[in-house]
Amino acid sequence: MEMHLDRLRQQIDAQRRLCGRLEAIAARLRAAETVSVEELLQTIEDMNMFEKYYTPEQLEQLKARKEQVGEERIRQVQEEWPRLQAEVKAEMDKGSDPASAPVQALARRWMALIQEFTGGDPGIEKSLRTMYQQEHTIHGMDVGAMRPMMEYMEKAITAVRKTE
């Protein structure tokens, strides 16, 4: 009976969070003159995707993390990721060893950005990794095309950890 009650409470909490998200979307729709159908569908898809990979507690931690970091830093990080990925791709294209100093420097930047997102929580990092391994697109990005880069960076990160 207790397990059933706990599960029911979790479902109620999830429904409340979903209600809050939908209220936020409705407010955006009321405030904006137009919102594209694609944007609305992408928002709903993203909500469902995050709930699929993160526990309710992790979602709350991520929400708190977002408030701690602030919108300006989030924007900076969103701009940093494509630059970092381009640098990693360039090293891959050159055939650079993941254990080389330049690639390890990129790996340290990569790890710092993930650390900043996850707040150092290994469970959130695991959920993030699982999502990127299993989904085809995230926020409109072709994640499948990123997988070789992610594997390359895993090798570089392993090399970094061996030297620390």
DSSP state of 17: H
Q: Which amino acid is at 55?
A: T
The pLDDT confidence band at residue 38, using thresholds 50, 70 and 90, is confident
User: For 60-65, what is the mean pLDDT?
Assistant: 86
Domain residue ranges of the chain, discontinuous segments joined by +: 70-163
Percentage of residues in the chain having pLDDT higher than 90: 34
Residue 26 has pLDDT above 70, yes or no: yes
Residue 130: name the closest of 115, 145, 113, 150 by CA.
Answer: 150
pLDDT at position 134 is 85
pLDDT digits (tens, 9 = 90+) for 65-83: 888 988 888 889 888 988 9
Distance CA 133, CA 127 (A): 10
pTM, entire model: 0.70
Q: Please, how many CA atoms are within 13 Å of residue 144, restricted to the half-sphere of its CB?
A: 3
Percentage of residues in the chain having pLDDT higher than 70: 84
pLDDT at position 94 is 97
User: For 13-27, what is the mean pLDDT?
Assistant: 72
